[in-house]
Amino acid sequence: MSLLSQNFITLIIGNSRLHWGYFQNRQLITTWNTNHLEKAITDLPTALFPREVIDDTSSYQGDNFIKSNNLFSVPIPPSPPFIKGRSFSEDWGDQFSLNNLPVYIASVVSKQTQLWDDYPHKKIITLEDIPLTNTYATLGVDRALCVYGAGETYGYPVLVIDGGTALTYTAVGKEYNFLGGAILPGLRLQLRALNQNTAALPQVSLPDTLPQLWGDSTKSAIASGVIHTIISGIDNYLTAWWEQFPQGKVILTGGDGLLLQQFLQEKSLFCGNKTLVDQTLMFQGMAKLITNHLCRT
pLDDT tens, position by position, 221-235: 999 999 999 999 999
Domain boundaries, the chain: 8-124, 141-279
Q: Please give the span between the terminal C-alpha atoms of the chain, in angstroms, as a whole number.
A: 9
Question: What's the DSSP call for residue 177?
Answer: B
For the question of residue 63 being annotated catalytic, the response is no
12 labelled binding-site residue: yes
Q: What is the pLDDT of residue 63?
A: 34
255 or 147, higher pLDDT: 147
| pLDDT (tens digit per residue) in 246-265 | 999 999 999 899 999 999 99
Q: Which of 136, 176, 128, 169 is nearest to 152 (CA)?
A: 176
Give the mean pLDDT of 30-41. Answer: 89
- Say whether pLDDT at 92 is over 90: no
Which is the catalytic residue, given 129, 142, 256, 278?
Answer: 142
35 or 50, higher pLDDT: 35
Q: What is the pLDDT of residue 295?
A: 60
Whether the CB-CB separation of 237 and 275 falls below 8 Å is answered with: no
136 labelled binding-site residue: yes
User: CATH code for 141-279?
Assistant: 3.30.420.40
3 labelled binding-site residue: no
Neighbours of 23 (CB within 10 A): 24
| pLDDT (tens digit per residue) in 101-127 | 789 999 999 999 999 999 988 999 999
Q: What is the pLDDT of residue 67?
A: 33
165 labelled binding-site residue: yes
- Say whether pLDDT at 47 is over 80: no
143 labelled binding-site residue: yes
**CA gyration radius for the chain?**
20
13 labelled binding-site residue: yes
14 labelled binding-site residue: yes
Q: What is the pLDDT of residue 55?
A: 63
**Using 50, 70 and 90 to split pLDDT, how confident is the model at 5?**
very low
Cis amide bond preceding 157, omega within 30: yes
Average pLDDT, the chain: 83
**Using 50, 70 and 90 to split pLDDT, how confident is the model at 61?**
very low
Task: State the pTM of this model.
Answer: 0.81
Contacts of 179 (CB under 8 A, 6+ apart): 134, 157, 171, 172, 173
Q: What is the pLDDT of residue 83?
A: 35
Give the mean pLDDT of 239-252. Answer: 96
**Using 50, 70 and 90 to split pLDDT, how confident is the model at 96?**
very low
Using alpha carbons only, give the angle 237, 243, 245 rounded to the nearest 5 degrees. 95
Helix (H) or strand (E) holding 185: strand 178-185
Give the mean pLDDT of 214-227. Answer: 98
